[in-house]
Structure 1
Amino acid sequence: MWVDDDNFQIRHHLRRVAMPAPGGRRELAEICGYIAGLPLDRDRPLWEMWVIEGGAP
């Protein structure tokens, strides 16, 4: 069931993390593994968006 969140605040859902040097696939995989293992706060809608900064091109 879809329910509107009258107290919605983006800061509860948007996360940022910096990738350690050299910022390649290995570091990205480590960060993604870490994020995937984090529990979501069940007192809020169950979604987050992560911005991973500092990756190599």
Structure 2
Amino acid sequence: MAKPNYSYEKRQRELAKKQKKQDKERRKSEGSAPGTPESGADQEAQPQDAPPPAPPPA
């Protein structure tokens, strides 16, 4: 059985955290621009790639 590569996993977590922080800073800077809505909660609630929720069965 292969030995787990913990340094690779740690690096991936660090990269994900760095990307998330950059996205947050970018959204924050875009939201502070005049004339833009400051509420980004609606966009975060549903990702763009997700299909719309299915209607309940009748």
Bigger relative contact order, structure 1 or 2 (CA pairs below 8 A, ≥6 apart): 1
Structure (1 or 2) with the greater helix fraction: 2
Point out the structure with max Rg over C-alpha: 2
Structure (1 or 2) with the greater strand fraction: 1
Same fold (TM > 0.5): no
TM-score (norm 2): 0.34
TM-score (norm 1): 0.34
